[in-house]
Chains A and B, each alone.
Chain A
Amino acid sequence: MSAGYIDELHDSFRSDLVYRSEDIPLECSPKPKEMEQTLHGVMKLNGLVIRSLEEIAGRGANAVTYRAGKKFGHEVAKYFQKREDVEGALHELSDLLRGQYSFEVWKPEDKETFIIEENGETFIYLVFHDCIVRQTLRRNGLEQGGPLCQTLFGYVVGAIEEITGRKAKLEIVHTGPNACLKKLVLK
């Protein structure tokens, strides 16, 4: 390695910037467009981790990722206002997930209310539009509905349980390239 290259390398990590300990960064740097390589790198890495986990742990991978997501959901939602109504909890949840996921409460046209009771089950359909999991899976050419989706399931269930104090379960009804339909089963 030549000395010239090392000096050049050192120079690239030096600046005239004065950084004080009280300086609070108020915006991301660099700009999001310049972060594209980083974002793709993270998505690629996540995809590879999940693929390897699935290869080694098989179906057990789902349990691991679900558990991780659920812990995260509980952790994040514990700072939110506790409420008993599911509608309010979903509103809190959409605030929680903003920027990573966006979803709406949905119902087929033959149903009158969003809270559906069928075959002794009470559930709500959720359509997830923006989803970082879907982006990652499609970036890596992986199938949707696998272990990485379980992190989102755990996240939603954990957050709902934390906010409402009720047990919940999330099921995949359908996955698509633009949106996914999930069923939030309330217990």
Chain B
Amino acid sequence: MDIRVDTDACVGCGLCVKDCPMHVYELQNNVSVPVRPNNCMGCLSCHEICPAQALEHRGIYAARRHYIDIKVCEMLKKVI
């Protein structure tokens, strides 16, 4: 698993450190560092909890998302 942290964006809140059950992250000099990336099982809780959206996971399996409303997405695509 390749996990990248945008060190400029990370605010060092430590929420990802507390939330991760596999202790993938550690705070070093007030920045989150993925010290055990191979322990990541790709739940993406850290993405949901990160207030700075500073995280990036590569090579992850994205679960199917049936709950996304296709009509809403079509409208969003027009706007974005």
Which residue numbers of A lie inside 8 Å of B, CB to CB? Answer: 33, 36, 39-40, 43, 106, 108-109, 127, 129-132, 134-136, 138-139, 173-181
- Measured in the bound complex, the distance between the Cα atoms of B69 and A33 in whole Å is 11
Would you call B60 and A135 a contact (CB within 8 A)?
no
Specify the chain B residue showing the minimal Cβ separation from A127: B41
The answer, yes or no, to whether B44 is at the interface (CB within 8 Å) is yes
Chain B interface residue count, Cβ-Cβ cutoff 8 angstroms: 22
The answer, yes or no, to whether B18 is at the interface (CB within 8 Å) is no
The answer, yes or no, to whether B53 is at the interface (CB within 8 Å) is no
Q: Is the interface of A mostly helix, strand, loop or mixed?
A: mixed
- Measured in the bound complex, the distance between the Cα atoms of B67 and A135 in whole Å is 6
Would you call B66 and A132 a contact (CB within 8 A)?
yes
Would you call B67 and A179 a contact (CB within 8 A)?
no
- Decide: A181 near B43, CB < 8 A? Known: A108-B22, A173-B21, A174-B21: yes
Chain A residues, CB < 8 A from B67: 40, 43, 135-136, 138-139
- Decide: A177 near B41, CB < 8 A? Known: A132-B66, A134-B63, A135-B67: no
- Decide: A131 near B63, CB < 8 A? Known: A109-B38, A174-B45, A177-B44: yes
